[in-house]
C-alpha cells in the first residue's frame, strides 16, 4: 500500500523535485504503470474547468461618502446590487440584468469591467437616518477605489452537467444556449477528464480551506456549493477569491440569447496523491463520466431523460437521438480548461503553490431537494373550455363563419378526416377570405402551424407561450392530437385577476 502525507508532498514542492501532472496526463500514467506505481511516482494532479457559472458574484465595499450614507438601493452601470447588509457593502450577482440594457449587459459585465480596471458609474439611494443623513449619491469609481472586491461564488464547479436538447417544434433559449427544434442539436458543459470533482469524487482532498486556482489567482473552497448533490454525482463548490488579483483571461461575461447574462469562471484544483485510491480516481477518462440527455422542450423541473451519454461521445461531435445523428457543442472551453490545469501545474512545480488538507471535508452524503410548494400550481385543464366546437378542414369558410357567429367565439380548431387537429381558423381569417378570391374551404385559409397546449401544462407556461407567439388562443390536445379543449388569453387574464 502506498501512502504519502501532505507534509511530504509540500517538502518536495519546496525543494523543487515534486512530480506534478495534469489529470489528462494522469490517465496515461495509470494506464501504463497501474494505480500503485502511479501513486509512488506522482505527487500532485492538477485539474481545470472553464464554463458559465451563473451562481457567481462579488462583495464590494465602497467606503463611506461625506456626509455618510446607508445605501438602500445600489446600481452599478445600471445593474442593481444587493445592499441589504451594512451601510456601504453590496453584492453584485453575475445574473442580475441591467435596468436599461436588459439582456445585453448585467452583473457579469460589471465584474469583468472591474477586473479590466474600467470606471463604473455608481448610483445609490437611501431613506436617510440621523447617523446616515445622505439620501442620494452618484459617483464614478474603479476596482482600485474599492476597499474590498471579494468574489464569493455560491455554486461553481459542478461535478458534471445534464446535457440539453429540445424535442418541440420551435427553438428555445436556455442557460444551455439556443436549442434547435426537433432534437436539432445537443449542448453540454463541463471538462470531463479535467473536471475537478470527477477526479476526487469522494472528497478525500477537496474541502473547506482547499487552495485552488480561481480566475487567474489563488482562491479557496469555503464549503459545499448550493444544490450540492454528491449522491447523484452532482457535487458543487462554494468558492472565494480576491477580484483585485484576477485576470479577464479567466473571468469573462457572457450573454445567452433571450435568457440573460452569465459569468465564465476559470477554476482548477490540485489533488495531492496520498494513496492508490486517489491515483485511480485521478485517472478518470471522458468515457468514465456519464450523464443524462434531457429534453428541455418539456417545461418542467423533471424533464424526461432521453438517454445516457459519456463525455467521450459528446466530444466526438455528434450523438444519436431517436436513431438520428445529432450535432453536439460544448458550452465550456476544453482548451481553456486544459490551459488552467497546465498553469496550475506550473505554479506547483515552481514552488508558487502548495497543497493542504481541508479543515473540513465536504458532505459525501447529500441530495438536492426540490422546492416545497404550499399552493398548487394551476394547470391548463383547470380553466380550459371543454365544450369546444371544431370544424372539418373540408368545410367552406361560409360554414366556419356561421359557426363562429352562432357560438360567439373567434377561434375555431380545424380537424382532419380522422378527427385530429390540423389547423385553426379565426374570425380575422374569414374576413380576409371574404375579401379575397380563390379561398373557398377552411383548409385554404386556416393556420396550419398551430400553437397547442397539453391539459397538464402549468398555466404560467401556457401564458408565456401565448405572449411569445402573440396569439390569443391555443387548442388543448391529447397525445394523439385530438382536441379536448381550448384556452384563451382571456381565460388566463380572469384567473390572474382572481389571484390578485
Top pLDDT among 40 and 459 is at 40
Q: What are phi and psi of 337, to 5 degrees?
A: -60, -45
Compute the average pLDDT of residues 327-344: 98
- Grid cell for residue 146: 474599492
Task: Decide if pLDDT at 329 tops 60.
Answer: yes
In this structure, the strands spanning 148-156 and 237-242 are: antiparallel
Task: Decide if pLDDT at 500 tops 70.
Answer: no
HSE at residue 290, side-chain half, CA atoms within 13 A, is 6
- Tell me the whole-structure pTM to 2 decimals: 0.86
Compute the average pLDDT of residues 387-403: 88
- 481, 418 Cβ separation under 8 angstroms: no
Task: Decide if pLDDT at 444 tops 90.
Answer: no
- 136, 124 Cβ separation under 8 angstroms: yes
- Residue 498 has what pLDDT? 62
Please give the DSSP secondary-structure letter assigned to residue 184: -
Compute the average pLDDT of residues 67-81: 98
Compute the average pLDDT of residues 264-278: 98
410 — pLDDT class (breaks 50, 70, 90): confident
437 — pLDDT class (breaks 50, 70, 90): low
Q: Which of 51-65, 117-131, 139-153, 485-499 has the lowest mean pLDDT?
A: 485-499
- Percent of the chain's residues with pLDDT above 90: 82
489 — pLDDT class (breaks 50, 70, 90): confident
Task: Decide if pLDDT at 496 tops 70.
Answer: no
237 — pLDDT class (breaks 50, 70, 90): very high
Compute the average pLDDT of residues 441-454: 89
430 — pLDDT class (breaks 50, 70, 90): confident
Q: Which of 28-42, 55-69, 127-141, 463-477 has the lowest mean pLDDT?
A: 463-477
Phi-psi region of 260 (alpha: psi -120 to 50; beta: other; left: phi over 0): left
- pLDDT tens for 168-189 read 888 999 999 999 999 999 999 9
387 Cβ neighbours under 8 A, 6+ residues apart:
none
- Residue 499 has what pLDDT? 59
205-244 burial by CB neighbour count: b if 16+ within 10 A, else e?
Answer: bbbeebbbbbbbbbbbbbbbbebbbbeeebbbbbbbbbbe
Phi-psi region of 259 (alpha: psi -120 to 50; beta: other; left: phi over 0): alpha
Strand stretches in 269-304, DSSP E? 270-272, 290-295
Q: How confident is the prediction for the chain on average, in pLDDT? A: 94
409 — pLDDT class (breaks 50, 70, 90): confident
Domains of the chain: 6-54+152-361 (no CATH), 63-146 (no CATH), 380-498 (3.10.580.10)
Compute the average pLDDT of residues 436-451: 82
Compute the average pLDDT of residues 396-420: 87
Q: Which residues are catalytic?
A: 131
Amino acid at each position: 500500500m502506498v501512502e504519502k502525507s501532505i507534509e511530504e508532498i509540500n517538502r518536495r514542492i519546496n525543494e523543487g523535485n515534486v512530480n506534478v501532472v495534469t489529470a489528462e496526463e494522469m490517465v496515461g500514467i495509470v494506464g501504463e504503470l497501474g494505480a500503485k506505481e502511479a501513486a509512488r511516482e506522482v505527487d500532485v494532479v492538477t485539474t481545470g474547468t472553464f464554463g458559465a457559472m451563473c451562481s457567481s458574484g462579488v462583495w464590494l465595499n465602497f467606503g463611506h461618502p461625506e456626509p455618510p450614507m446607508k445605501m438602500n438601493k445600489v446600481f452599478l452601470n445600471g445593474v442593481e446590487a444587493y445592499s441589504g447588509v451594512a451601510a456601504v457593502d453590496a453584492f453584485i450577482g453575475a445574473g442580475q440584468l441591467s435596468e436599461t440594457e436588459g439582456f445585453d449587459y448585467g452583473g457579469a459585465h460589471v465584474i469583468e469591467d472591474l477586473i479590466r480596471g474600467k470606471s463604473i458609474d455608481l448610483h445609490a439611494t437611501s431613506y436617510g437616518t440621523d447617523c446616515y443623513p445622505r439620501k442620494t449619491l452618484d459617483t464614478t469609481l474603479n476596482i482600485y477605489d474599492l476597499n474590498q472586491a471579494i468574489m464569493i461564488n455560491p455554486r461553481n464547479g459542478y461535478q458534471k452537467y445534464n446535457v440539453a436538447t429540445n424535442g418541440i417544434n420551435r427553438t428555445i433559449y436556455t442557460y444551455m444556449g439556443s436549442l434547435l427544434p426537433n432534437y436539432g442539436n445537443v449542448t453540454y458543459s463541463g471538462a470531463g477528464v479535467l473536471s475537478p470533482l470527477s477526479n476526487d469524487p469522494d472528497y478525500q482532498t477537496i474541502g473547506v480551506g482547499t487552495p485552488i486556482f480561481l480566475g487567474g489567482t489563488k482562491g479557496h473552497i469555503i464549503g459545499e456549493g448550493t444544490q450540492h448533490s454528491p449522491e447523484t454525482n452532482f457535487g458543487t463548490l462554494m468558492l472565494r477569491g480576491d477580484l483585485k488579483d484576477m485576470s479577464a483571461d479567466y473571468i469573462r461575461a457572457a450573454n445567452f440569447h433571450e435568457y440573460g447574462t452569465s459569468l465564465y469562471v476559470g477554476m482548477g484544483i490540485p489533488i495531492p496523491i496520498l494513496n492508490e485510491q486517489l491515483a485511480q480516481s485521478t485517472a478518470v477518462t471522458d468515457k468514465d463520466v456519464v450523464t443524462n440527455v434531457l429534453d428541455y422542450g418539456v417545461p418542467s423541473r423533471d424533464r424526461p431523460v432521453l438517454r445516457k451519454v459519456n463525455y467521450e461521445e459528446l466530444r466526438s461531435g455528434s450523438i444519436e437521438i431517436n436513431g438520428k445523428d445529432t450535432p453536439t457543442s460544448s458550452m465550456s472551453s476544453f482548451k481553456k480548461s486544459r490551459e488552467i490545469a497546465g498553469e496550475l501545474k506550473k505554479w506547483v512545480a515552481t514552488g508558487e503553490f502548495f497543497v493542504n488538507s481541508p479543515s473540513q471535508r465536504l458532505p459525501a452524503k447529500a441530495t438536492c431537494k426540490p422546492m416545497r410548494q404550499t399552493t398548487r400550481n394551476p394547470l391548463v385543464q383547470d380553466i380550459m373550455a371543454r365544450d369546444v366546437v371544431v370544424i372539418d378542414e373540408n368545410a367552406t369558410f361560409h360554414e366556419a363563419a356561421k359557426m363562429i357567429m352562432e357560438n360567439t367565439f373567434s377561434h375555431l380548431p380545424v380537424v382532419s378526416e380522422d378527427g385530429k387537429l390540423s389547423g385553426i381558423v379565426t374570425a380575422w381569417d374569414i374576413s380576409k377570405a371574404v375579401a379575397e378570391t380563390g379561398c373557398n374551404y377552411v383548409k385554404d385559409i386556416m393556420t396550419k402551424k398551430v400553437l397547442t397546449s397539453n391539459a397538464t401544462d402549468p398555466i404560467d407556461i401556457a401564458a408565456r407561450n401565448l405572449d411569445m407567439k402573440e396569439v390569443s388562443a391555443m387548442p388543448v390536445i391529447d397525445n394523439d392530437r385530438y382536441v379536448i379543449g381550448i384556452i384563451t388569453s382571456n381565460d388566463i387574464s380572469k384567473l390572474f385577476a382572481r389571484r390578485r
